[in-house]
């Protein structure tokens, strides 16, 4: 059961199965009643594992309250995991948990096109801090919105993949990049 406020769930989560494991999206109801996307996860062996990956959220469980827009987002995420090109640029994200630099990193990362990569250092430079590759790595490691913020397209210098926080790790990152035509 989801937590409720004025008869409406404050935390709503939905799941979709993909060939890359279960995907989950988490929305939180704001005081104005609007649901805002707060997180996405990918690559889990079950719906419950996907939901449980939102460890920083209390009282979160599968909801039967998804509206058409939420259902469509889950379908789009599944389709992107399957290799369909969709920038997901129209999806509004709740970035309130991020500091100014991490926000810039997330916003710039969203602009990396499918089939292209950028190194941590290049992304740092594009955000105005060319010596902040490690900080970019930290921002990508804690990315709450994989696929929407395509952190899988951010790689290490010299051709190494860097990390990927999904349960399948770097192997899932490699598979997502291959589906986009990137060989590393």
Residues known to be catalytic: 151
Contact residues for 101 (Cβ-Cβ < 8 A; gap 6+): 127, 129, 132, 135, 139
Contact residues for 71 (Cβ-Cβ < 8 A; gap 6+): 14
Nearest to 162 by CA among 148, 177, 147, 149: 177
Write the CA distances from 110 to 87, 104, 173, 181, integer angstroms.
Answer: 8, 10, 16, 18
Q: What are phi and psi of 51, to 5 degrees?
A: -65, -45
Q: Where are the beta strands (DSSP E) in 11-163?
A: 11-18, 21-29, 35-44, 118-119, 154-155
What tokens appear for 17 in the block? Answer: 């199965």
């Amino acid at each position: 059961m989801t937590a409720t406020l004025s008869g409406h769930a404050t935390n709503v989560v939905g799941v979709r199965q993909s060939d890359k494991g279960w995907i989950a999206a988490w929305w939180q109801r704001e005081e104005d009643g609007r649901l805002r996307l707060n997180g996405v996860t990918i690559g889990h062996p079950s719906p419950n594992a996907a939901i449980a990956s939102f460890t920083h959220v209390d009282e979160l469980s599968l909801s039967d309250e998804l509206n058409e827009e939420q259902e469509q987002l889950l379908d789009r995420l599944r389709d992107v995991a399957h290799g369909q090109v969709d920038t997901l640029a129209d999806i509004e994200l709740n970035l309130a948990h991020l500091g100014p630099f991490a926000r810039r990193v997330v916003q710039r990362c969203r602009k990396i096109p499918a089939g292209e990569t950028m190194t941590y250092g290049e992304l740092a430079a594009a955000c105005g801090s060319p010596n902040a590759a490690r900080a970019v790595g930290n921002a990508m490691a804690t990315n709450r919105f994989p696929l929407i913020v395509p952190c899988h397209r951010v790689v290490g210098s010299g051709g190494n993949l860097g990390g990927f926080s999904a349960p399948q790790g770097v192997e899932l990152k490699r598979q997502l990049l291959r589906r986009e035509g990137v060989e590393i």
